Amino acid sequence: MGRVLTYSQLAAETVRQLSARYPVSESRAMTRLIFERLKGFTPADLVLKGTQEAGDFIEGKVGQIVSRLLKDEPIQYIFGIADFYGMEFKVTPDVLIPRTETAELVDIIVRDWAGKADLNVADLCTGSGCIAVALARNLPFASVTAIDISEAALAVARENSVSLKTNVRFVREDVLTLSPLRESFDIIVSNPPYITEKEKAAMEPNVLDHEPALALFVPDSDPLKFYKPISRFAAGSLASGGMVYFEINPDYAREISKCLDDLGFEDIEVIKDTYAKNRFIKAVHE
């Protein structure tokens, strides 16, 4: 018979194996998440119950997860869950994994519109629905419309809206050819594809090999492929004083700003993320 591991020993072995592929700090974080998802353990539980035997079933489950992680599969896809803005979102390989930068974008919008209710909001290229749902939860009595071309992504987004108890309207449309809708919006937000093909070489395999290319990449020859039509849509769809918000590729902040300026937007502001990169743009429609 093999050696029976305690939870502490199994956790240490998990960190050791993952550290062959990931930084130690990330390996520890993933190990904590594995035990949280499999056993409901907090870090304190792992200490308090550390001397208990884990058992063959849990050892086997942990081993399977480690094997997948060592093949660069994102842990969020393995468990089908991603944390975003204090909520748990379902994620599948049909949608991007929500990033902390995108949570910063939600923060900006919520701060800008604090104290205002009954806002009409559109989220273009919604993906998992994380922005739409977060805004529906944090803007009082907001009416939120979320648009995406991918029916598979919209299916995930709808599940997230239901499970997180929000009333978001989902529409399948191609934002590249989207015409102004019959209604006007106070807020239009988008985190569209913005990574150029030439940037692929610097990307990690867990993103490049597993997340949907449809939601990531634009041609080198057309880095503003999505920003131009979305900006035109915003110019024709925002109410007076309404605002458009983008998450952007830092390399094209100037070009996107010029696009908005050419369409008559005012108070165009480029905002840095927590890594001091130009990551967001907001502008006012007069």
Token pair of 18 as six digits: 């993952």
State pLDDT tens for residues 155-201: 999 999 999 999 999 999 999 999 887 789 999 999 999 999 999 98
For 2-11, 99-108, 186-195, 213-222, which range has the lowest pLDDT when averaged over its residues? 2-11
Distance CA 242, CA 100 (A): 25
Structure pTM?
0.93
Token pair of 230 as six digits: 């979305």
Q: E-assigned strands of 158-265?
A: 168-172, 185-190, 195-196, 217-218, 238-247
Q: What is the reported pLDDT for 1? A: 46
Q: What is the reported pLDDT for 3? A: 75
Pairing label, strands 168-172, 143-148 = parallel
Q: What is the reported pLDDT for 2? A: 60
Q: What is the reported pLDDT for 270? A: 98
CATH number of 93-284: 3.40.50.150
Q: What is the reported pLDDT for 127? A: 98
Pairing label, strands 120-124, 143-148 = parallel
Residue ranges covered by each domain of the chain: 7-71, 93-284
For 2-11, 155-164, 257-266, which range has the lowest pLDDT when averaged over its residues? 2-11
State pLDDT tens for residues 113-143: 999 999 999 999 999 999 999 999 999 999 9
Token pair of 84 as six digits: 């975003």
Distance CA 77, CA 44 (A): 26
Beta carbons of 129 and 146 less than 8 angstroms apart: yes
State pLDDT tens for residues 23-77: 999 999 999 999 999 999 999 999 999 999 999 999 999 999 999 999 999 999 9
Say if residue 205's pLDDT is above 60.
yes
State pLDDT tens for residues 228-248: 999 999 999 999 999 999 999
> What's the chain's average pLDDT?
96
Rg, C-alpha atoms of the chain:
21
| End-to-end alpha carbon distance in the chain | 74
Provide the pLDDT confidence category of residue 5 given band limits of 50, 70 and 90. very high
